[in-house]
Amino acid sequence: SSEVLEAIENVIQDVLKSLAQKKAPVLTLANRSDWRNIEFKDSVGLQMIPHCTTKQIRSDCPRSAPKFALMLKILSMIYKMVQSNTYATKRDIYYSDTLLFGSQSVVDNIISDISCMLKIPRRSLHILSTTKGFVAGNLSYTEEDGTKVNCTCGATAVTVPSNVQGIKNLISHAEFMLIVEKDATFQRLLDDDFCNKLSPCIMITGRGIPDLNTRLLVRKLWDTFQIPIFTLMDADPHGVEIMCIYKYGSVSMSFEAHHLTVPSIKWLGLLPSDLQRLNIREDVLIPFTKQDQKKLASIQKRPYIACQPMWKKELEIMAASKLKAEIQVLTSLSSDYLSRVYLPNKLQFGGWL
C-alpha cells in the first residue's frame, strides 16, 4: 500500500510543480489502445512494449480538461481507500457522484488509465471489479475473510470471488479445466452432471467477454494446479475473440498481461471443421453479418494467429463458409449430444487445437 500511496503522491507533486511554475499541469500515460505499442510473446501473450507512445491528458485543453479533473477525483478516492484499507467496486465509485461521472463506462475507462499510468494492478488500487463469472466442479478454497467455499458440482455454481488474490488453501483433484463461453451452455453441463461423469474437472464461465476476476481466477488455477485448460466457444468470430482474451489477453489490458493470460489454453470446440465432420444441417447454421466478416478479418491479421497454423486453418474454413454456429447447434443431433458424445470423444481422442 505504501507503494500505491507514493505513486499517487508523485503524480500530485508533478501537478503542484507545474502550477508553481505557472504551467498547465498534464497527466501522461501509455497509449494502451494502440496496436503499435503491443508486442506478442508466446509465453505471455499480448504485452505492452517498454518504450511505448504516450498520450497527455491536459488541464488547459477544453477537450481533455474534464477527464483531467475526473482522474484527479478518482486518484483522491483511491488514496483515501488505500489509507483506510477499504475497498470499493467500480459501480460504487460511479454511484458516489453519477452527475459528475456521467456514465459507468467513463469510470471504468479512467480506472484502467490510472492503473496503466501508475503501473499498479487494479486490485492494488483497492478497486474491485463487479464479478459476473461462475465456477463449478472439483474445487474448494478459503476466501480472504475466512469463508470456506466448495464448488463441487451441484446444480448451482459459485460466483467467481471478487478478490481472487485473497483466496487461499485451494484444493482440487480435477484432471482438466473447461472454460465455457456462455452461461446457458455452462448451466446445461451442470444439469447433465458433466463435472463428475467423465472425470473430475473444474468448469468456469465468464458469461461472454470475461471480466477481470474471471481471468484472474483462470490464471490462479493454472498457476496452482498446472492442469490442461480447454475452451468451449461458439464457432463464430465473437467466440474466437473471447478465447483469445483468455489465452493471449486484450490490447486494452496488455499492461497487465503477466497476471491475466494463460498461453497454454487449448481450443476444444466448437471448431468450424466439426460442423462439416458432424454433418450439421446448413439450415441450423447462421449466415455471417458484415460485422462478423470484419471481426474475423481483424482476428486473422493478429500476430498470434501466425504461430497457430491449425487455428489459421479453422478460421479459413469459417471465412469460406460465411456461416457461424452456436454450441446449442449440437442439440440438432440429440438433446444431450454435447455432454454425452461430443465432449467425452474430444477429451478422450485429443480433438483439440
Q: How confident is the model over 54-76, as pLDDT tens digits?
A: 788 888 888 888 899 999 999 99
The stretch 274-279 carries a mean pLDDT of: 87
Confidence (pLDDT) at 257: 66
When pLDDT is cut at 50, 70 and 90, the band that residue 154 belongs to is: low
- In tens, the pLDDT along 187-202 reads 888 888 888 888 888 9
- Classify each residue of 171-184 as buried b or exposed e, where b means 16 or more C-beta atoms within 10 Å of its C-beta: ebebebbbbbbbbe
Q: Is 248 annotated in the active site?
A: no
Distance of alpha carbon 292 from alpha carbon 45, whole angstroms: 24
Indicate the fold that domain 134-349 takes in CATH.
Dna Topoisomerase Vi A Subunit; Chain: A, domain 2 (3.40.1360)
Say what percent of the chain tops pLDDT 70. Answer: 97
Q: Are 275 and 217 in contact (CB under 8 A)?
A: no
Every domain range in the chain assigned CATH 1.10.10.10: 2-128
Binning the chain into helix, strand and coil, the percentages to the nearest 5 are: 50, 20, 35
pLDDT tens-digit series, residues 217-252: 999 999 999 999 999 999 999 999 999 889 888 776
What is the per-residue pLDDT for 177?
Answer: 93
| CATH 3.40.1360.10 segments of the chain | 134-349
- Taking residue 24's Cβ as centre, other Cβ atoms within 10 Å add up to 13
Look up residue 147 and give its three cell numbers: 469463508
pLDDT at position 155 over 70: no
The domain made up of 2-128 has a fold known as Arc Repressor Mutant, subunit A (1.10.10)
Residue 173 CA: distances (Å) to CA of 137, 138, 325: 10, 6, 33
Active-site residue, from 79, 87, 94, 95: 95
Instruction: With beta carbons less than 8 A apart as the criterion, state whether 110 and 64 touch.
Output: no
**pLDDT at position 164, please?**
85
Q: Residues 6 or more apart from 139 whose CB is under 8 A from it?
A: 150, 151, 152, 170, 171, 172, 174, 202, 221
Instruction: Name the pLDDT band for 301 (thresholds 50, 70, 90).
Output: confident
pLDDT attached to residue 225: 92
